[in-house]
Amino acid sequence: MASIKKDIKLRLPKIVLMYFTYDSGVNYPWKSYLYANIVYNKELYKELYDSYKHIIELYVYEQLKQENIDSNLVYLYKKFIKPQLVKNDTAAFLAKLKFMYHITCFDEDVKAVMVKYSQIQEPVIYELTGKDTYIPLYTKECSLVFICNDGRKRKKTVDYEIEKIFEEPGDMSEYDQYDIDDKYITIYKVEYYRRKHIYKMYTLELYKLALGVEGISEQYRKN
């Protein structure tokens, strides 16, 4: 497997695909790549794709439950996420995916990205895997700081790219029926309602919920 380049546009021999996709010892990054390869090349692998489609759908569901993400899973999520996959065991991660960004850092000295929200006292730190990572960004006012291997924090002198993965989330009302305990989504919804001047019976309860968020900043509480 190590000799195979992870390019979903590369047409792999059918025997290779069949062997490794049925091998239970293949880890999720490789299996995600192989399934993404089949989907991308489905016109070339038509019979193989038809026989694998349901297996891939089940695989996507399992990866959502485990909250896994990489570039090949993002491709599969975009192809296979549908309303039927929003369930109690996937709703929280599906909601988080709405805010997901892919960050690629070209500075080898950087090991992590720190995200600071004005509404929350403590920042959130995401470790890089190689030179990239996937992080949710919930408000437009959040700031990014890059943490170097020696502990230094840099903000403006780092060469990086950032890409939004999915469409803008909107009011997130499609997830209201699920018990999602996520303080960042709560903050997002309050800011969204304020920005859009949305006032409903639920709005006041939402504001009260935000004020009760653990780690809320005093400045945000006063506003």
Q: Quick one: what percent of the chain has pLDDT higher than 90?
A: 61
pLDDT at 146: 97
pLDDT at 99: 97
Confidence grade of residue 124 (pLDDT, cut at 50, 70, 90) = very high
Question: What mean pLDDT do residues 149-155 have?
Answer: 94
Residue 214 in contact with residue 183, Cβ under 8 Å? Answer: yes
Q: Please determine, for residue 2, whether its predicted confidence score (pLDDT) is greater than 70.
A: no
Cα–Cα distance measured from residue 82 to residue 94, given in angstroms and rounded to the nearest whole number: 10
Confidence grade of residue 206 (pLDDT, cut at 50, 70, 90) = confident
The 10 Å CB-count burial string (b at 16+, else e) for 152-176 is: eeeeeebeeeeeebeeebeebeebe
Question: What mean pLDDT do residues 25-49 have?
Answer: 89
The residues that bridge with 103 in the sheet, in sequence order, are: 133, 162
Confidence grade of residue 141 (pLDDT, cut at 50, 70, 90) = confident
Going by C-alpha positions, the residue among 91, 66, 63 that lies closest to residue 79 is 63
Question: What mean pLDDT do residues 60-73 have?
Answer: 97
pLDDT at 24: 64
Question: What mean pLDDT do residues 132-146 have?
Answer: 94
Helix, strand, coil shares of the chain as percentages rounded to 5? Answer: 45, 15, 40
Confidence grade of residue 158 (pLDDT, cut at 50, 70, 90) = very high
Question: What mean pLDDT do residues 26-36 have?
Answer: 89
Helix (H, G, I), strand (E, B) or coil at 145: strand
pLDDT at 5: 60
Cα–Cα distance measured from residue 158 to residue 80, given in angstroms and rounded to the nearest whole number: 35
pLDDT at 156: 85
